[in-house]
């Protein structure tokens, strides 16, 4: 079974803090993704990575950065947290080619910025 784990289920941070969200997958997948989910907006792609040290911006990268030093780990960094970054953050992984196009998601981290 593919497993994608995220370091925290719930996180509360203060405005201006630097925040690290960690994601680990155990299926040796090349591709990893960070999304945020907001009511009425669905899932929106923040960043993705197709290999170690490689990263590409998604649709809403502003205010975020990422790091992928090891194949199994993909970190999302909020350089200076703001209240509009309060959201559910979802990490996903996928193999380079999938017959179904499927992504595997972690359980999510609900981040509250006060």
Partner 1 sequence: DQQVKQNSPSLSVQEGRISILNCDYTNSMFDYFLWYKKYPAEGPTFLISISSIKDKNEDGRFTVFLNKSAKHLSLHIVPSQPGDSAVYFCAASVGTYKYIFGTGTRLKVLA
CB atoms within 10 A of CB 57: 14
Q: Which is nearer to partner 1, 85 or 103 (CB)?
A: 103
Task: Specify the DSSP class assigned to residue 84.
Answer: G
Cα–Cα distance measured from residue 103 to residue 97, given in angstroms and rounded to the nearest whole number: 11
Q: Which string of x and - marks every residue 7-26 that binds partner 1 (by CB under 8 A)?
A: --x-----------------
Among 1, 42, 53, 69, binds partner 1 (CB under 8 A): 42
Q: What are the backbone angles phi and psi of residue 103, rounded to the nearest 5°?
A: -110, 150
DSSP 30: S
By CB under 8 A, residue 64 contacts partner 1: no
Binding residues vs partner 1 (CB under 8 A) = 4, 9, 31, 33, 35, 40-45, 48, 50, 56, 90, 92, 94, 96-97, 100-108
């Amino acid at each position: 079974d593919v497993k994608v784990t995220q370091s925290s289920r719930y996180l509360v941070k203060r405005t201006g803090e630097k925040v690290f969200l960690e994601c680990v997958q155990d299926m040796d997948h090349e591709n990893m993704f960070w999304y945020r989910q907001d009511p009425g907006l669905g899932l929106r792609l923040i960043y993705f990575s197709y290999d170690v040290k490689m990263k590409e911006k998604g649709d809403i990268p502003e205010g975020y950065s990422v790091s992928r030093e090891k194949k199994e780990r993909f970190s999302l960094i909020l350089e200076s947290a703001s209240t509009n970054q309060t959201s559910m953050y979802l990490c996903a992984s996928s193999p380079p080619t999938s017959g179904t196009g499927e992504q595997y998601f972690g359980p999510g981290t609900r981040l509250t910025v006060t």
